[in-house]
Structure 1
Amino acid sequence: MASVSPDDTNPDVYEERFNNIVYSGVIALGVGLGHRVGLFKALTYLPEPETSQSIAEHAGLNERYVREWLFSMAAAKIVFVTDDNKYYIPADCKTKTSKSLYATMMPAIAPLTKDVEKCLRSKDPSSADKIRTVLDIGCGVGKLTASIANYFPDAKVVGIDVDSYAIETAIKLKEDKHLTNVEFYLLGAEYLTEEWEKSFDWIIMFRVFHDLPNPDPCLRESIRVMKDDGVMTVLDNLGHSNPKLNVGNKPLAATLMVSCYMCLPCSLSAPPAAGNGIGWGLENRAAYIRENGLIIHDNELVECIHCSKATL
């Protein structure tokens, strides 16, 4: 058992800590909102302290709501205010506002509260308990596949890849970890085994989709081998399809340059040479998946999306 100091259980200290967490959680919602609507971007771009009206105009937002948001951020000492009611983030602090992944997630996960509450109250087995078959497409050296097999010891897990070295490495990893519920095959997703028809509860494409030179048969085959009530998880480190929406995103700029060296050549490596790469973007990916008959659950403009057949 972890050691507990007397201060940890002091009622007054406990109350203060509890309240601080609650207050910070609400403020974090505002931070996430500010990221989503471009207020932090505006405050970072503006070189001098500005009025709420000027900040609202720069971000293209309603001034009264912007002012209320600024009041909250100023009270939390995230945004600072001058004597003449102009708002700013100190120059040396501006780069720090872009690094909080959890803050940007808050508005996205908050609507899921009712769903989580429903799961907590449910006596049915969890979705994880129902997973018996998993297919990892483009498994590479098998690290994710092996982790899934370890996490779901009662499931049959299959990893496929077109790279022989990757599959050899994955098989060695399986042997080293003594995993008996995972198999690796040198196989492309364009021609999956006939016997796999409607066999898999969960299909995974981890940073694979945008690399495919011919995504049409890959997606078609993936849908064929997925159970009618199965789920497909697609993760791509993409930005927006419209380059104007990516302006100022330095990490994405670096990722797009990496795409020039790795992802794009891969997507152009064989006919019909789709040429997607990272520049394909979240919007184009979502449209493509919907056009092929899948339903995207929750927010489609995020790196990791979950899809199911439209028959559900």
Structure 2
Amino acid sequence: MKFEILAITLLAASVGAVPLRTDEANDWQLISDVNGRMHIVDLTATDMEAEPLFNAYNDVVFRLFTRSNPTTPEAQIIRINNNEQLANSFFNVNHPTRFHVHGWNGGGQNTGASIRNAFLNRGDNFNVFTVDWGIGATTPNYILARNRVNDAGNIVAQFIDFLNAYGLSFNLIGLIGHSLGAQVAGAAGKRTSRGIVASIVGLDPAGPLFSLDDPANRLHHTDAQYVECHVTDGGRLGFQHPVGHANFYPNWGIQQPGCGPDLTGQCGHSLATTFMVESINPANIFGASRCRDLEDIRARQCVISGPSRRLGGEPVQDGPAIVGSVYFLATNAASPFAQGPR
């Protein structure tokens, strides 16, 4: 029998919780794309319809934004190893440089706009690159998009090495990725050849088809000098286990306030980006308490086991963090979501 990927857009209110069904033949799950559309995906499917090839070197687009060119029409496209384009752009080798990587079915000229604007509104000293791997990510076939993560990450790594050869310090580089984009960011961090990036923030890193037992093919704390994870729909659309240095579980990492029943998890999954955007504004502090471990989160009873720290922010690293440390915080049900320091 032939199993094909079904991509059916659904209204969240009309479906049940994920996974929908698991048996010996297939594993049907609802997975959200970057636009909030839910798709039914058979995670065991192997016989997939052919689609156009994804040539990451040619197809991934890097758009540069600065305070001198802050909007989409003014974006400057920079190609790998094109020193002339870089020299004629607004790129400043002395400025902190942030990358945003979108998730499944994302991409396009305006991808990452909220993150981009948050940095540019904060100050005039940021280079912000949006990573558009939409040709690889825009497909009804989630498995195909997932299998392109390492290819996309490899090109991001090559681009970072190019910037470093041009004179940019690895200590100035931070990556932020949502869902499947968080896994791309991790793949990039693994593959840089000239140094290790300063930070990676995984915004509810994608869970389906990523394994705790396969750190070589998922986000891992060794992918950057500091890795932070924000888990907002853990165990469904997001990867629940603490895989970074500091791992934050707003509202216990699932069923976010303001999302209602959120049967599919899409609302909570997308809120990870909203929280990060808000945190970049220094007026918004997401204070979090350190718990003992993931079991505290699952039991919804945090036993304080160390100093508090803030989620997100700029710079993202709020002091040293023990690998695998776990933090709980509550948020408001509407913006402003931050409840201040703890």
Return the index of the structure with the highest Cα Rg.
1
Query: Counting helix residues as a fraction of each chain, which structure ranks higher?
Result: 1
Q: If the TM-score is normalised by the length of the shorter chain, which range does it land in?
A: under 0.3
User: TM-score normalized by structure 1?
Assistant: 0.27
Query: Counting strand residues as a fraction of each chain, which structure ranks higher?
Result: 2
User: TM-score normalized by structure 2?
Assistant: 0.25
Which fold has the larger relative contact order, with Cα–Cα distance below 8 Å and residues 6 or more apart in sequence? 2
